[in-house]
Amino acid sequence: MIEDPEHAKEREASIRPRVSRWAVVRFVGGAVVSLGVVGAVIASLLALFHPETPLPREWNPTVPFAAYDPVTPLTQWKLRRTIADPATCRAVLDDVAQVTVMAPLNASEECHVRNRVSISSVGEAQFETVETSCATALRLALWEYHGLQPAAQDIFGTQVSSIRQVGSYNCRPIRTAQGATNR
């Protein structure tokens, strides 16, 4: 059966869903909000990298780690990135401690101290020279500045001037909760 073209247009119009004005308004409004969110994200990223950003250095993930920066949720992340690069670790440590770079200690593949330094003072405190990794020395500096000195000031009303350590290096198999290890 052949259908009249005029009748076919009416039938097609009755079958096709009608788009309400509110659907168009919601669509356009959603698009405007999405563009606003994208614009805010772009502006935030630009603010991070701008030399005159209002974001404090300790909260800015693009600014290198500094031991004397206040501790924030980003501190551990920035510290891990710093320790992962031996040159960066030594540069940060040079700002907060008296260190001498040493050759690595390589007793075996399991027993070693890579990125080794000799440290004789950290912040305000002096101590007998200790040979350790840059990562350990940097953590010592953080502890001295952010933990030890504030606690000494609060409790004793003075700063710590000397630290005595009684540690040593001993590479041997140890047992852990997971069982024996190679080191």
Show the domain range for 111.
75-165
Q: Maximum CA pair distance of the chain?
A: 105
Cα 132 from Cα 140, distance rounded (Å): 10
For the chain, the domain total comes to: 2
pTM to 2 decimals?
A: 0.68
Q: What is the pLDDT along the chain (183 residues), one digit of tens a residue?
A: 566 666 666 666 555 556 566 666 676 677 777 777 776 666 665 665 666 777 888 888 888 999 999 999 999 999 999 999 999 999 999 999 999 999 998 888 878 888 999 999 998 899 888 889 999 999 999 999 999 999 999 999 999 999 988 877 777 777 777 776 655
In a domain, 27, yes or no: yes
Residue 79 and residue 123 share a domain: yes
Residue 115 and residue 34 share a domain: no
In a domain, 177, yes or no: no
Give the 3-state secondary structure of residue 80: helix
Cα 140 from Cα 6, distance rounded (Å): 87
